[in-house]
Amino acid sequence: MTTRTRANGEGSIFPYRNGFAAYVWVTKPDGKRTRKYVYGQTRETVHDKWIKLHQQAKTGPVATRVPTIGDYLTYWHREVVTPNLAPLTRATYGTMIRLYLVPGLGSKRLDRLQVRDVQTWINTVSETCQCCAQGKDARRAAGRRRCCALGRCCQDIPSARTVKDIRGVLRSALNHAATEELVTRNVAALVKLPPVRRRKGRAWSSDEARRFLESARADHDPLYPAYVLILVLGLRKGEVLGLIEDDVDLAAGELSIGWQLQRVGGQLLHRETKTQTSDATLPLPHICATALELRQAARQHDRDRAGAAWQGSTLVFTTRYGTPIEPRNFNRSWDARCAKAGVRKITVHDARRTCATLLVDLDVHPRVIMQVLRHAEISVTMEIYSQASSAATRAALKRLGDSLR
């Protein structure tokens, strides 16, 4: 006599080895119908899994196998990241996946990934020369190899910031996997990393900024107006290079910011700014309006000289033939101008910090600085605000000392 192990209506639950099993007919992501099985030690456990699987089958396609980390990252980047995130972000994610995550964790099954697996792997990455691991020197021509391929390891170890970014990409992917109910927890979020020490930005004094601009104007530097917009209005490099003619309204004395120019994955993209907070219309101080008038005249001169070779771009800042200015070439021009002006070499983004610092020295309220720089959060502005120039710091300490004397 056989013992009944299934209740009415549960015809797909049956004894299996040392426990029970069940199946449900599901539709796979490719549209084909097949059975998907669940297993457990007790009938009650299998029954709960069976009910849950029935519900999943009713709501949409169901994967019949758990993918590997590599397969899931490929799917996640293609179907989730690429359609929804900015080009530079998806390119950065793709690089992290290709160079670090797939080689290190790609073969592991998604549902079997443990905290200790990620912790051990990421500790190894942070101590491994990536020139050796990725074969950077080995890919060079035989006559141009200079380090790891010749047995002289260059110790190209990832920075703490890079390691944090690698973990961040994996954590984002596993968050989505948890949303799709492929994993029950995000193991990457539980991994411990050393704190990242931010690079302390540098800024010019008002005298250095003035010398820089005077040098550019005296030499008739074609990028002088761009330098003015960065130092006076705090524009980002991509925003300056992405300005179009319609953004400039000299009659109203206003400048609209809504576009940027970026080099991403071998392509030069003219696209909207990254966030809505970055979009703004700023009043033009006299020095900015004068600089843009000079730029309009120079642009018309370039168009007349180029003739049929003019590319017809609507960008404010272009080459002599109307083509966009490469961001890297802008960096080179900036560095060359620093040397000619005899001022400390800082990055273009540090010039944006200079704008904030000079506003601090003028006792401008942080909320106003936030509007000028178009920060999304006041905390970012306050971080800059707290780093007043050494001259302002000395004056403040002198006042404090005088009050306590």
User: What phi and psi, each to the nearest 5 degrees, are found at residue 18?
Assistant: -95, 15
Q: How many CB atoms lie within 10 A of CB 150?
A: 10
Tokens (6 digits) for 123? 């500790």
pTM over 0.85: no
Looking at beta carbons, which pairs linking 29-33 to residues 24 or more positions away fall under 8 Å?
29/61, 29/63, 31/61
Structure token pair of residue 351: 């010039």
Written as tens digits, the pLDDT of the chain (405 aa) is 444 444 444 447 889 888 999 998 888 766 788 888 888 899 999 999 899 888 888 887 777 777 899 999 999 999 999 999 988 899 999 999 999 999 999 999 998 899 999 999 999 999 999 999 999 999 999 889 999 999 899 999 999 999 999 999 999 999 999 888 788 789 999 999 988 877 777 888 888 999 999 999 999 999 999 999 999 888 889 999 999 999 999 999 888 888 899 988 888 988 888 777 677 788 888 888 999 999 999 999 999 998 889 987 889 999 999 999 999 999 999 999 999 999 999 999 888 888 888 887 777 777 777 777 777 777 767 766 555 555 665 666 666 566 555
The CA distance from 153 to 319, in Å, is 41
pLDDT in the model for residue 355 = 85
Check if the beta carbon of residue 76 is closer than 8 Å to that of residue 176: yes
Residue 315: the pLDDT is 92
Tokens 């050494």 locate to: 390
Residue type, 383: E
| pLDDT score at 6 | 47
Cα separation, 217 vs 337, in Å, equals: 11
